[in-house]
Amino acid sequence: MATIVIAVGSARKPKLAAVRETLQEIGNFLQAAAQFEIVPFEVDSGVAHTPSSAEELMQGARQRAESVRLIATREGKAWDYFVGLEGGLDSIEVNGERRVFLESWAFVSNRTRGYFGRSGAIELPPPLAEEVLVRGTELSIAIDEFVQESGIRDAQGAWGVLSGNKITRQDSFRIALIAAFAPFYNRRLYAEPNPRNSAIAQ
C-alpha cells in the first residue's frame, strides 16, 4: 500500500484535525487504497498575527506551504503534498460601511502546482472588529476577552463562538482544504496546468 505524506505548516490541533478529516473524505480520490501520513511543522506565516485582508490570508497560507516544501528539500524528503492554512479577517466596504469577515484559507502544492481554497465567511460584531483592526489586539486574545472564556483558538475557534458552534474553526479549514485539493482529486477538470499556478508553487 502506497503512503502519501502530507506536510503541514502548522502544529495547531484544529488545523491538523481538519487535514485528517479532509483526507478521510477525499483521500481515495487522490490515490485509491493509499494510506496518508501527516507531518506537522510550526513555521512562520510571514504575515501579521491576525491578517486583515484576503490577500494577506492567501500570502500567509502560501508561505506556510512554501516553508515546509523548503524543509523537505533541505532534508531530502520526498513528501507528496505541502499544506498551508491561515485564518484571519477580510475587511471590505459596502455602501460606505465597513464590513469585517472571518475567513479561513488553504494553499496546497505538490512541488509543481499550487492552488488556493477558501472557507465561507462570517461577519464579526463591530466591537470585536474594532478591537482587532483598530486597537491591534490579536483575534485569539480578543475573542477570549469578548466572551470571557479562554483557549478558544485551540477549541471551537472564533468561528464556533460567532456561529453558536454550528461551524467550528476545524470545519472552516476543512472546507478550505477540500477546495484547495480539488485540482488534485478532480484532475479531469484541471488537466492542463496553469502557468500562473506553477509559478506560485515554485
1-24: pLDDT as tens digits: 799 999 999 999 999 999 999 999
The predicted structure's pLDDT at residue 178: 98
**All structural domains of the chain with their residue ranges:** 3-201
The predicted structure's pLDDT at residue 192: 60
156-201: pLDDT as tens digits: 999 999 999 999 999 999 999 999 999 999 999 987 655 555 444 4
**Terminal C-alpha separation, the chain:** 29
Cα gap 202→197, rounded to integer Å: 9
The predicted structure's pLDDT at residue 155: 84
Contact residues for 28 (Cβ-Cβ < 8 A; gap 6+): none
Pick the CATH number of 3-201 from 3.20.20.150, 3.90.950.10, 3.30.450.20, 3.40.50.300: 3.90.950.10
